[in-house]
Amino acid sequence: MQSGGVRVCRFEQPRPFHPRRLQAVLEAALGRDCWGRIVRSAGFAKLASRPYVTAHWDQAGTLLTLAPLTADPLPGDGAELLALGQDLAFIGIDLDEAGLCAALESAVL
């Protein structure tokens, strides 16, 4: 979606993020505006270092928080997962959707 220079990008990926790769992408995305100026992003995320924890992703400007929402059930428990992998929405100015999504893809396992 696009309105003037404001664009929206959605990223979905079932595989978890590798923490160090994600950190490198975030430093480039939020610190250097590599793929446009990300104003706000939110959604659900999973880190490979915490496979059974779903995190709430909440970013505004250069501040990002990943707050644990819940511990997901162990495989075979029969309970439903809160989220499978990543489901994130980005709002920004002159976003390069393809570049941002490619960078995020490079951060997953």
Q: In the prediction, which pLDDT does 69 show? A: 86
Q: In the prediction, which pLDDT does 51 show? A: 83
Extract long-range pairs of 30-33: CB within 8 Å, 24+ residues apart.
30/59, 30/61, 30/62, 30/64, 31/62
Topology of domain 2-105, CATH:
Hypothetical Protein Yjia; Chain: A;domain 2 (3.30.1220)
Tokens of 28: 């480039």
Backbone angles phi, psi at 30, to 5 degrees: -95, -30
Q: In the prediction, which pLDDT does 28 show? A: 95
pLDDT in tens, the chain (109 residues): 555 699 999 999 999 999 999 999 999 999 888 999 999 999 999 999 988 888 999 999 999 999 998 766 555 555 555 557 899 999 999 999 999 999 999 999 9
